[in-house]
Chain A
Amino acid sequence: MSDKVPFSEILVYLDGSESSMSACMYAILLARSTGSRLHAIYCINTKALGDLVKARIFVSQEKTEYLADLKKDAERHIRHTKKLAESRHVNLVTTVTEGSPSAEVSHYIKAHGIQLLVLGSVNMIRSRREELTSETDRMLRTSPCPVLVTRDDESVWQMFEELD
């Protein structure tokens, strides 16, 4: 049996949640131990923003304010992720994009030959209502490559701390 790792390009999806930070740490551990290249993507959900303006829930002034907030949030998380990767000597390719997160991630996977997508925890199925499906759930269902779903638990943080 071949002992070759079946991936060399890993993508981790960041959305600012704690579970996406756990996913990021796990992806750094995985990239380091397999010698894979790690990519991190943060998508500013301008699709949802546009929908809120269309539905007249947001006025255009709010859209502008939120867009600025979301961009700042994206920069903050990307900066933090870079620091985490650098601290464990892992090279990281970062991208901030805008649009519908699941569509943007799918597009990035195809465009960059990604072979493994790492996601933070997906939601428990508590409702059959399709409208309540999260972006992470959609990515799990639509990803063109294999997906690894991490758990937001202490052991990931501990393993990350223990890695030199």
Chain B
Amino acid sequence: MSHDNHGGTKQIWLVFWILLALTAVEVALGIYKPVSYEILKWTFIILTLVKAYYIVAYFMHVKHETKSFAWTLALPTFILIPYLLFVLLTESSDLIL
């Protein structure tokens, strides 16, 4: 079943180094805080989403599932979660509007 093995262990370790590097960047930014909180906050969120993409796409293999399956999983996530966060964070503050 070698056709199921995309990239082999080399790709697995590459993804590991990417995740490790992104986490190290997050921790360094969190400790030294070189920029304002607002910029820092969005940097953290973007880096986290990039990490999530690598975990879901490569470790959880979604990149190699059928397109229809990937969308079946992605659409509820992309619609419901931002909606929930929008409602909650709007109610709690004027930070995002």
* Mutual binders A and B: no
Interface residues of B (CB under 8 A from A): none
